[in-house]
Chains A and B, each alone.
Chain A
Amino acid sequence: GIQVEQSPPDLILQEGANSTLRCNFSDSVNNLQWFHQNPWGQLINLFYIPSGTKQNGRLSATTVATERYSLLYISSSQTTDSGVYFCAVERRSNYQLIWGAGTKLIIKP
């Protein structure tokens, strides 16, 4: 089956720093999504990004489908950015999402 690998597994930064999170996937997929899970467990969708680049405020994402990776950029980090960032890819055969193990981000004040 499809393998989804995220790196780094953990990241600790000072407030105001920039960061890049990576997601590699092992096979062709229909699409890719990025999610954020806050420390209380609530998940929200950040980007639906099968290819190309999208930006939303301080966050942006780029997916290069032909090379099977996606990057999530966070600029000028704030403490509220802390949590776990997941990427999930949609399996071509049945449209189900396959999730990576996440990158745990801690932003220190």
Chain B
Amino acid sequence: DGGITQSPKYLFRKEGQNVTLSCEQNLNHDAMYWYRQDPGQGLRLIYYSQIVNDFQKGDIAEGYSVSREKKESFPLTVTSAQKNPTAFYLCASGQRDTQYFGPGTRLTVL
């Protein structure tokens, strides 16, 4: 099946730890995106990548890092520098007129 997968679905982290969220797509899309969603709010862009080995900061990149070594994969690392990381994280791929979203990862910092 074609689509976007994210793992894990739920993630718990202790303060001070880095964690990496996985995002994989087999839709052959060049562009991939990471968004953060907080309760009752819309999505905010963390990072995006329009091509392999290149990525750009979004509006809230501080405390996050990404890599794009393969077209299919765009992992997001939430570092200890992110002051309030508890949120729902969504990965997407696609073009300007259509973005396809993964099922999301719910990160909780204990």
For the complex, what is the distance from the CA of A48 to the CA of B97, rounded to whole Å? 6
Partner of A101, one of B41, B100, B104: B41
| Cβ–Cβ contact B101 & A97, under 8 A | no
Q: Does B44 lie at the interface of the complex (its beta carbon under 8 Å from any beta carbon of A)? A: yes
| Cβ–Cβ contact B96 & A96, under 8 A | no
Give the shortest distance, in Å, between B94 (CB) and chain A (any CB). Answer: 8
Partner of B101, one of A4, A43, A96, A101: A43
Q: Does B90 lie at the interface of the complex (its beta carbon under 8 Å from any beta carbon of A)? A: yes
| Cβ–Cβ contact A31 & B90, under 8 A | no
Contact A101:B42 (CB < 8 A) given known A41-B103, A41-B104: yes
A interface footprint on B59-93 (CB within 8 Å = 1, 0 otherwise): 10000000000000000000000000000101010
For the complex, what is the distance from the CA of A24 to the CA of B88, rounded to whole Å? 25
Partner of A48, one of B48, B88, B98, B104: B98
Contact A102:B42 (CB < 8 A) given known A42-B101, A42-B103, A96-B59: yes
Q: Does B40 lie at the interface of the complex (its beta carbon under 8 Å from any beta carbon of A)? A: yes
Binding site for A on B (CB under 8 A): 40-45, 48, 58-59, 88, 90, 92, 96-101, 103-104, 106
